[in-house]
């Protein structure tokens, strides 16, 4: 499915049809269908190289290790995340890891001191995550991400396939449980992000991430003390300028 063909469809309807067709299929089958059949050359995986990312990266590498992997380097990440990214990419043979960074001019104009996260986290996420991802996703008709229903109350109803208003979005691990994730790590001897051993179960930017207690949601350590629960890449991607055929 090319981006051009996608532009002629009702994306919500198309996503719902794909969801019904694929939701009972094994995860690897879903990824094969998405990457090889539906969107060959038009799909990217977006990965944070966080606590559980190795599972989806390993699955995608089995389908095609040259699948583009978009990585948002906000400039505020833990150094451990950057090392883990390089280690995993080499281990899995991922040849197309593409690093997305904030626009330097926007950064200079809005966050020259690097403390916007403290004053206005939504604005900081918009500049350091949402806008760079919007630019990075421009060439693609579809994307894959690793969100799961169990991660937070706000993700309980996450479908396998959805539309973000502009593209098709695959959530292949939506119904995976923590036990399935742990079993997959063990079965494939995948390395853990070094901060997991220190209680970080969801790992974002250093200023906005804390370890969590055993009885807390994995994402409870993100933006602790604030109402904020999402960075915006999954909630405000659609309102950005609509793709036009000239963009494709
Ligand atoms: S998670 Fe924090 S530091 Fe990272 S972009 Fe968002 S507000 Fe800024």
Residue whose structure tokens are 């390089």: 86
pLDDT digits (tens, 9 = 90+) for 110-132: 999 999 999 999 999 999 999 99
C-alpha torsion angle, residues 137, 131, 206, 159 (rounded to 10): -50
Residue 217: alpha-carbon gap to chain centroid = 18
Nearest to 155 by CA among 146, 147, 163: 147
Which residue among the candidates 124, 125, 208, 231 is catalytic per the annotation? Answer: 231
Half-sphere exposure of 35 (CA within 13 A, CB side): 22
Domains of the chain: 3-239 (3.40.50.620)
Residue nearest to atom 6 of ligand 1 (CA): 125
231 as an active site residue: the answer is yes
Alpha-carbon distance 217 to 213, whole Å? 8
Atom of ligand 1 nearest to the CA of 206: 3
Could you report the average pLDDT of every consecutive run of 10 residues in the chain (248 residues)?
A: 76 95 97 98 97 97 98 97 98 98 96 93 95 96 95 88 94 96 98 93 88 70 67 60 36
pLDDT digits (tens, 9 = 90+) for 45-88: 999 999 999 999 999 999 999 999 999 999 999 999 999 999 99
pLDDT at 218: 65
Atom of ligand 1 nearest to the CA of 127: 5
pLDDT at 233: 78
Write the secondary structure of the chain as one string of H (helix), E (strand) and C (coil).
Answer: CCHHHHCCCCHHHHHHHHHHHHCCCCHHHHHHHHHHHHCCCCEEEECCCCCCHHHHHHHHHHHCCCCCEEEECCCCECHHHHHHHHHHHHHHCCCCEEEECCCHHHHHHHCCCCCHHHHCHHHHHHHHHHHHHHHHHCCCCEEECCCCHHHCHHHCCCCCEEECCCCEEECCCCCCCHHHHHHHHHHCCCCCCCCHHHCCCCCCEHHHECCCCCCCCHHHHECCCCCCCCCCCCCCCCCCCCCCHHHC
pLDDT at 11: 93
Sheet strands side by side (includes 69-72)? 97-100, 69-72, 43-46, 142-144, 168-170, 161-163
pLDDT at 243: 38
Among 71, 73, 74, 228, the mutation site with the greatest number of ligand 1 atoms within 8 A of its Cβ is 74
Alpha-carbon distance 99 to 112, whole Å? 21
pTM: 0.90
Pocket of ligand 1 (CB under 6 A): 74, 76, 117, 121, 124-125, 128-129, 204-205, 207-208, 231
Residue nearest to atom 4 of ligand 1 (CA): 205
């Amino acid at each position: 499915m090319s981006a051009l063909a996608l532009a002629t469809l009702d994306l919500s309807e198309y996503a719902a049809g794909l969801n019904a067709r694929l939701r009972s299929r094994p995860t690897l089958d879903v990824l094969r269908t998405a990457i090889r059949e539906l969107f060959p050359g038009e799909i990217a995986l977006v990965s944070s190289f966080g606590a559980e990312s190795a599972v989806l990266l390993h699955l995608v590498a089995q389908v095609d290790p040259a699948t583009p992997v978009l990585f948002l380097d906000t400039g505020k990440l833990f150094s451990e995340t950057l090392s883990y990214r390089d280690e995993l990419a080499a281990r899995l043979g991922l040849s197309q890891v593409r690093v997305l960074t904030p626009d330097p001019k926007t950064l200079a104009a809005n966050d020259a001191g690097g403390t916007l996260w403290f004053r206005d986290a939504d604005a900081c996420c918009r500049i350091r995550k949402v806008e760079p991802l919007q630019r990075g996703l421009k060439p693609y008709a579809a994307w894959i991400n690793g969100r799961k229903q169990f991660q937070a109350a706000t993700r309980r109803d996450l479908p396998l396939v959805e539309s973000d208003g502009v593209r098709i979005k695959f959530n292949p691990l939506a119904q995976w449980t923590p036990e399935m994730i742990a079993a997959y790590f063990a079965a494939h001897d995948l390395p853990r992000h070094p901060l997991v051993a220190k209680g970080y179960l969801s790992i974002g930017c250093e200023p906005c991430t804390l370890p969590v207690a055993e009885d807390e949601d994995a994402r409870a350590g993100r933006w602790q003390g604030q109402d904020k629960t999402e960075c915006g890449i999954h909630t405000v991607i659609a309102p950005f300028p609509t793709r036009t055929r000239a963009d494709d």
